[in-house]
Chain A
Amino acid sequence: MQKLFNFFKKNPFILILALILVFFTPQSLFAPGENRERAIVIAIGLDKNEDEYEISFLTFIPTPNQEFKQTNSVVSGIGSSISEALLNAQLTLGKDIGLSHAKTTIVSEKMLENDISPSLDYLSRVVSLPENTVFVCTNSSAKDLLKATSSLEENLGLKLDQLISYNANEVYVSDTSLEAFYQGYYSEERASIIGYLEYVEEENSQSQSASGGASDVEGDSANQKDKASQSLSSSQTEGTQGEEKERGSINGQSQILNNGEAVLLKKGKKVAILNIDNLNSINLLNNKKSLDCIKINQVKTEDDKTVDMVFEVKNKYVNIATKIQNKIPIFIADVNLGLKLTEIDTKGQEVKSNTQFTEINQEIASKIESKIKIEFSQMLQILRENKADVINVYDTFFKQNRKQFLDFYNNLDDKEDYLNSIIFMLNVRLQPDG
């Protein structure tokens, strides 16, 4: 005994190792590994039917194979609360749910009728849903969309999160992750933008692909429906935004339609759907996005012929200034665009002018300017109607003219409605580039 004591005194490490070997090694020696104990969730869907919540998981099912193939399945649980639904889903699976690899979170429009944040809060705090998961809204049920995604992936290798991240990089510019949602939600403006995907059943999709319109989309209000169809028709006639439009056909049954649309949220509730033009106008003020195309119709060339022209925005520099005159805040945005003529739609005529050497003349400039301004005012109208400040007006005033702005802000009757009382000035300057 004395000998043993001395031995441990001399080599305390052996004692610690012995403790570890006794207390920890046996149980982990026969533990099957966390990846076998937990269901690895790739995407989550949240639905609400009347009083019941449904939570669906796109989970990865490990199958022994050498071809690196990923087999997924959709599991769902129903309950009166999100946590209960989650428990039910776990019961169905017979495994604990591991949300740390969930790349996409899909919510149905119905979920967005009320403040979504409390439901998400449970997932992100308790079940550790990562905050960089992509947050998407869909018109039909999230479960259906997940099922469609699952087969989409198997058939086309197209992943939902890639689709959304492309949108996020090229269309929304700001990312549409859960974190971004929260950042908007907890800011003074309390507004944020998340992605939007349409899910369409087969009968509709045929007519859609023929017309290219979204007239069959079930909107909640007539107003939204109009806007949606407007956006699609415009994008179709202009034909410049084709890249944002991706379609995946799933076993000839249903379609996921990505128009690059986004949902405008105010206080966690859906207030409007923004189309691609609205988003472009929002991003006009964003220095980070420069790649964009502008199409103008009926321009007269040197030989007096009327053509359509497409300009590519090569570079963009936006300077935003604020001032307060007579206690009225004025938001001034100077947009400098470097343009390059990329296409001329001659409409069957013979046109001499060369795309490389066309200058931006007065007519072209005024047309571009008015087009940009009209789109900007349309966007602003939507924001004003919904009191949703996603272009950081509040922030900009707060940073640049804090005292005067707060005077103005505190005197407002409806403090959320400050967008309506602010004057916006948009100056567009054009330069040829390239």
Chain B
Amino acid sequence: MKSISARQTGIILFLTILANKILLLPSIMYEKTKADSLFVMFLFFAVELFVLWIFFALKDKFGNKSLKDVLQNLIGKSFAKFLLFVFLIFFLFKTMLTYSVIYVYLKDLVYQDEFGFLALICFLPVVNQGVICGLRAMSRSFELFFYLVLAGIIFCLSIAFFTNVSFPYFFVSNPSQIFNTWFTYIFSFGDYLVLFIFMDKIHIKKGEKKKILSFVFLGIAIVLSIFLIFYCKYHDTAFMHNNALADLLVFSVQFNAVGRLDIIAMVTIMALGLFQMEIFQFAFCESFVMVFPKLSIKYAVAVFDVLFFIVYFVLIGKYELMIQLTTEYLPYFAVISNYILPILIFALSFKHKKEVKDAKTI
């Protein structure tokens, strides 16, 4: 069994926390809740940490069992398959959302033109290869790139921080606005859900939960500081800057004295997007294999690619629409899979425990 270590799990979570949230979110959230978006983020992270706690609890209880086994134990075979199918659809959408966000970013900033086929031939083969190579090889790559990503982001942040920044004012939006925003962008969250999918492949030794948590908190801290510095820098024009991380740099280097340093942000974001897609596609393929146990992971990858092409070129055709779709029509779906399903599994697991105890007493 090719399992991954606690450190690698932590890094996967770190990348997942980062990837979607630093591109579009800061600017589109500002439009709705101004600088209070920071509180929305706090809210998100708090709720999400509860999901992580659920994962740890399940892991303690079920050890190295796969999600499929756990679900079959709890709710029976057919219902387990249904739940896994929900996860499958969810991860399909998440991969596409990530792809759309990265595509729109690259189109605006890097290629300045439509480059559909080029982007596909860059992303899909690499992501597919990552998935076929397996979780262990993938997470080793993440481990290697972790330092580069971290260095890139900290570089962007520090450059931005040491130019003109001033605090924005907080508490300008009311709670209903905050909850509204929270609901709208819920699709960009659900970071810990991937863990459930490959919970059998995660190998956590005793006392290593702290390691995972430290990476999670590092990720949260970085996302929050990106939000904060971005708002400190742009205030009322934040909504004009779609690509938060890159724009932190563009405007920092005054009058192009050094040249365009945002190439660092570009490369960081490309890598981040790629890794994020790999993680989500792997989650998709894992749930696919669990739903259709007779098919290998290569079939799962092929099915994913076909679905990907269909959704983009037949149904929607435009990347911006994908983002709109996930913010306007699909949040309910995200709420169910992000929060309700984990809680449901957790609640059911209590029942399971009782049964075992009863069995023992008898």
Q: List the interface of chain A (C-beta within 8 A of B).
A: 12-13, 16, 19-20, 23-24, 101, 103, 124, 128, 130-132, 134, 161, 165, 174-175, 177, 179, 182-183, 186-188, 395, 398-399, 402
Number of chain B residues whose Cβ lies closer than 8 Å to a Cβ of chain A: 22
Annotate B175-198 by CB proximity to A: 1 below 8 A, 0 otherwise: 000000000000000000000000
A20 touches B251 (CB 8 A): no
User: Which residue of A has the minimal Cβ distance to B247?
Assistant: A131
Pick from B223-231, B233-241, B268-276 the stretch touching chain A.
Answer: B233-241
In the complex, what residues of B have CB within 8 A of residue A174's CB?
Answer: 164
CA distance A369 to B234 in the complex (A): 36
Q: List the interface of chain B (C-beta within 8 A of A).
A: 108, 112, 117-118, 121, 125, 129, 164, 167, 169, 234-237, 240-241, 250-251, 253-256
User: Which residue of B has the minimal Cβ distance to A16?
Assistant: B125
Q: Give the contacting residue for A395; candidates B169, B237, B256; CB below 8 A.
A: B169
A134 touches B121 (CB 8 A): no
A399 touches B169 (CB 8 A): yes
CA distance A264 to B206 in the complex (A): 65
A183 touches B236 (CB 8 A): yes
What is the distance, in angstroms, from A50's C-beta to the closest C-beta of chain B?
31
In the complex, what residues of B have CB within 8 A of residue A131's CB?
Answer: 240-241, 250-251
Q: Give the contacting residue for B251; candidates A12, A132, A188; CB below 8 A.
A: A132
CA distance A24 to B115 in the complex (A): 11
B256 touches A103 (CB 8 A): yes
CA distance A101 to B254 in the complex (A): 13
- A132-B255 CB under 8 A given contacts A12-B125, A12-B129, A186-B236: yes
A23 touches B117 (CB 8 A): yes
In the complex, what residues of B have CB within 8 A of residue A23's CB?
Answer: 117, 121
Question: Which 8 pairs, one residue from A and one from B, show the smallest C-beta to C-beta distance?
Answer: A186-B236, A187-B236, A182-B237, A16-B125, A165-B255, A183-B237, A132-B251, A179-B251
B237 touches A134 (CB 8 A): no
In the complex, what residues of A have CB within 8 A of residue B253's CB?
Answer: 132
In the complex, what residues of A have CB within 8 A of residue B234's CB?
Answer: 179, 183
Q: Give the contacting residue for B121; candidates A19, A161, A395, A398; CB below 8 A.
A: A19
What is the distance, in angstroms, from B36's C-beta to the closest C-beta of chain A?
14
A24 touches B118 (CB 8 A): yes
What is the distance, in angstroms, from B287's C-beta to the closest C-beta of chain A?
24
Query: Can you give 22 A-B contacts (C-beta < 8 A)?
Result: A12-B125, A12-B129, A16-B121, A16-B125, A19-B121, A20-B121, A24-B121, A101-B256, A128-B108, A128-B112, A131-B240, A131-B241, A131-B251, A134-B255, A165-B255, A174-B164, A183-B237, A187-B235, A187-B236, A395-B169, A398-B169, A402-B169
What is the distance, in angstroms, from A93's C-beta to the closest C-beta of chain B?
18
In the complex, what residues of A have CB within 8 A of residue B121's CB?
Answer: 16, 19-20, 23-24
User: Which residue of B has the minimal Cβ distance to A392?
Assistant: B166
User: Which residue of B has the minimal Cβ distance to A184?
Assistant: B236
User: Which residue of B has the minimal Cβ distance to A162?
Assistant: B255
In the complex, what residues of B have CB within 8 A of residue A186's CB?
Answer: 236-237
CA distance A103 to B256 in the complex (A): 8
CA distance A174 to B235 in the complex (A): 15
Q: Give the contacting residue for B254; candidates A16, A165, A187, A398; CB below 8 A.
A: A165
CA distance A131 to B248 in the complex (A): 12
In the complex, what residues of B have CB within 8 A of residue A398's CB?
Answer: 169
In the complex, what residues of A have CB within 8 A of residue B108's CB?
Answer: 128
Starting from the known contacts A16-B121, A124-B240, A132-B250, 10 additional A-B residue pairs (CB-CB under 8 Å) come to: A23-B121, A24-B118, A101-B256, A132-B255, A161-B255, A177-B255, A183-B234, A399-B167, A399-B169, A402-B169
A130 touches B237 (CB 8 A): no
B237 touches A179 (CB 8 A): yes
A175 touches B237 (CB 8 A): no
What is the distance, in angstroms, from B163's C-beta to the closest C-beta of chain A?
9
What is the distance, in angstroms, from B114's C-beta to the closest C-beta of chain A?
14
In the complex, what residues of A have CB within 8 A of residue B167's CB?
Answer: 399
CA distance A148 to B15 in the complex (A): 52
In the complex, what residues of A have CB within 8 A of residue B251's CB?
Answer: 131-132, 177, 179
B254 touches A132 (CB 8 A): yes
What is the distance, in angstroms, from A409's C-beta to the closest C-beta of chain B?
14
A182 touches B240 (CB 8 A): yes
A130 touches B250 (CB 8 A): yes
What is the distance, in angstroms, from B132's C-beta to the closest C-beta of chain A?
8
* Most chain A CB neighbours (cut-off 10 Å) among B129, B237, B253: B237
What is the distance, in angstroms, from A265's C-beta to the closest C-beta of chain B?
15
What is the distance, in angstroms, from A144's C-beta to the closest C-beta of chain B?
23
B254 touches A175 (CB 8 A): yes
CA distance A183 to B30 in the complex (A): 14
B255 touches A103 (CB 8 A): yes
User: Which residue of B has the minimal Cβ distance to A186?
Assistant: B236
In the complex, what residues of B have CB within 8 A of residue A16's CB?
Answer: 121, 125
What is the distance, in angstroms, from A259's C-beta to the closest C-beta of chain B?
21
What is the distance, in angstroms, from A83's C-beta to the closest C-beta of chain B?
17
User: Which residue of B has the minimal Cβ distance to A127?
Assistant: B112
CA distance A19 to B69 in the complex (A): 41
CA distance A223 to B241 in the complex (A): 39
In the complex, what residues of A have CB within 8 A of residue B164's CB?
Answer: 174-175
